[in-house]
Structure 1
Amino acid sequence: MPRTIVITGASDGIGAAAARQLHDAGETVVVVGRSAEKTRAVAESLGAPWHLADFAELDQVRALAQTLRETYPRIDVLANNAGGVFGERTLTADGFERTFQVNHLAGFLLTQLLRDRLIESGASVIQTSSVAARAFSRFDIDDLQAERRYTSSTAYGNAKLANILFTTELARRLGGRGVSAVAFHPGAIASGFAGSSTGLWHWMYTNPVASRLLTSVDVGGSRLAWLALGTPGVDWQSGKYYANNRPARTSRLAADPLLARRLWEKSAELVGVGAD
């Protein structure tokens, strides 16, 4: 029986590639994106349902969660894949630093609002993280909005580390209720995810010569699809971080259970949901 797999950030890049691969594997894919034109195009090519949400606006995330709850009696996999790296420090309409909100806080909120459905379904929650969590993060639990220290690379690395910390804490809190969680690095992907950034990030992902050194979206998408198709506890272990379909090293802070708990509690407070 096909499973229902919700993929955010699926209008292009590895999200769109994974959606195609999972559809070809016989699964029911729900395509979520920010751009109506691109999201519709991906979904219609698959004959799949689609929904819109800009993760820079948390009210859109709340509306998305309500629609998903009303529309899908089961959600077997939730892939929190939406994200990006940006340029100068800016605040969203919700008052949060944009990189932190789009990459972590919005996915945290969506997962919390779908919590009961995920428990009922015995779901897997997949977080698209990055090797940047180890390479660029300077994580400060008391400066999540990067008010004291900001560069686009540091903000992105911190957000990707937050993805891993969220994964470990989600596995700890809901593992006993049938929910599994995993984070992964898709590779340095030749996609447009850094189109809004500046400097080296923008050059690396938009320069035709540099882009030849990057991994294709199909390969990156296959790493998401591998986790979505896999069986937790057999193919991969809940609460862990993967790269190239294998357990991988990341920041030493990712193994700090107190830090993971504090991030969860602070995130819950920021978006106005319970911290239990």
Structure 2
Amino acid sequence: MQTIVITGASDGIGAAAARQLKTGGHRVVLVGRSPAKTEALAREIDAPFHVADYARLSEVKRLAGELAAYERIDVLANNAGGIMGPRTVTEDGFEKTFQVNHLAGFLLTRLLMDRLAASDARVIQTSSFAANVWGRGLDVDDLNQTRGYSPTSAYGRSKLANILFTRELDRRHRADGIAAVAFHPGFVRSNFAEDTTFFMRWFYHTPLRYLATISPETSARRLVALCEGAPGRDWQPGEVYLKRARMPVAFRDDGSVARALWERSEDMVAPFLG
């Protein structure tokens, strides 16, 4: 039995994966933004739960303290995220899409690093093919996207950040026993994009979505397969997957951008690392 922490677990892929993993005999730990939804799922599947708003890094640090109390964390699934509307700066001073989709998960992983290494854990990032469509303009000197902001570019660049984070996490910590991987879940019927007024909300929240999107249960099986699969046998650490195949990444990087992103991210969250 593995202890599997799933963020963004109150709805969509996270909730569906939690149900499947619990049925499979694992100990599932839920993390969600909505207290009501997260607690309801926790009661349904008899699982512990924690609540944190990723738009507040102080809550991420509190969450890390709560999760560190678990004896083991075999899998950390950084699944929380979304696409936003007009450019918004959080109380921490960062563009909201970047913070919620990348920076908060980065901080949580960093704060749990000792526990993850001791558990020979897998760290799974929910990324997106949007990294190839809208993410290629990622600029490590403008991570807050003060220039040329749009909801889609911010989302795509944050999803590319998930991939680069996975690569750099693998480079830095594979020798410590941590196996990092990212995946594209597909276009999932869920409450994703409910916080935006951009066209992505129309795509995900009209009856036409059923013609072009897959169910959370189907997509969750991709996450479950990574949770239960063996690194090096069933999937390769440091890679990003679309279904069972490695997903090509359009953004060319010799590793320098991934390293710079990690360093800039550490600078941004430095007040919370002590």
TM-score (norm 1): 0.96
* Structure 2 contact 170–180 (Cα < 8 Å) conserved: yes
What are the equivalent positions in structure 2 for 1:11-30 lying under 5 Å apart? Answer: 11-30=10-29
RMSD between aligned residues: 1.2
What secondary structure sits across from 1:181 in the alignment? strand
Give unpaired runs (5+ residues) of structure 2: none
What are the equivalent positions in structure 2 for 1:229-244 lying under 5 Å apart? Answer: 229-244=228-243
What are the equivalent positions in structure 2 for 1:196-207 lying under 5 Å apart? Answer: 196-207=195-206
Runs of 4+ residues over 6 Å off in structure 1 = none
Q: Does 1:39 align with 2:38?
A: yes
What secondary structure sits across from 2:118 in the alignment? helix
* Structure 2 contact 166–180 (Cα < 8 Å) conserved: yes
Equivalent in the alignment of 1:81: 79
* Structure 1 contact 132–160 (Cα < 8 Å) conserved: yes
What are the equivalent positions in structure 2 for 1:1-276 lying under 5 Å apart? Answer: 2-70=1-69, 72-137=70-135, 138-253=137-252, 255-272=253-270
Q: Structure 1 vs Structure 2: percent identity of aligned residues?
A: 53
The Cα shift of 1:36 comes to: 0.6
**1:19–1:129 Cα change, 3 Å:** same
Give the letter aligned to residue 160 of structure 2.
Answer: L
What secondary structure sits across from 2:138 in the alignment? coil
Aligned equivalents of 2:97 and 2:139: distance in 1? 15
What secondary structure sits across from 1:267 in the alignment? helix
What secondary structure sits across from 1:150 in the alignment? coil
The Cα shift of 1:245 comes to: 2.2
**Cα deviation code 1:228-272 (max 9, x no counterpart):** 01110110000000011221112233x430000000000000000
Give the letter aligned to residue 158 of structure 2.
Answer: A
What secondary structure sits across from 2:157 in the alignment? helix
What secondary structure sits across from 1:208 in the alignment? coil
Give unpaired runs (5+ residues) of structure 1: none
* Structure 2 contact 106–265 (Cα < 8 Å) conserved: yes
The Cα shift of 1:141 comes to: 1.1
Give the letter aligned to residue 180 of structure 1.
Answer: A
Aligned equivalents of 1:246 and 1:197: distance in 2? 31
* Structure 1 contact 204–211 (Cα < 8 Å) conserved: no
Aligned equivalents of 1:199 and 1:106: distance in 2? 23
**1:274–1:181 Cα change, 3 Å:** farther
Give the letter aligned to residue 262 of structure 2.
Answer: W
Aligned equivalents of 2:215 and 2:238: distance in 1? 27
Aligned equivalents of 1:211 and 1:94: distance in 2? 37
Give the letter aligned to residue 152 of structure 1.
Answer: P
Aligned equivalents of 2:271 and 2:119: distance in 1? 21
* Structure 1 contact 161–251 (Cα < 8 Å) conserved: no
* Structure 2 contact 32–51 (Cα < 8 Å) conserved: yes
The Cα shift of 1:66 comes to: 0.3
**1:85–1:274 Cα change, 3 Å:** closer
**Cα deviation code 1:91-147 (max 9, x no counterpart):** 111110000000000000000000000000000000000000001112111110010
**Cα deviation code 1:145-174 (max 9, x no counterpart):** 010110000000000000000000000000
Give the letter aligned to residue 177 of structure 1.
Answer: D
What secondary structure sits across from 2:72 in the alignment? coil
The Cα shift of 1:211 comes to: 3.6
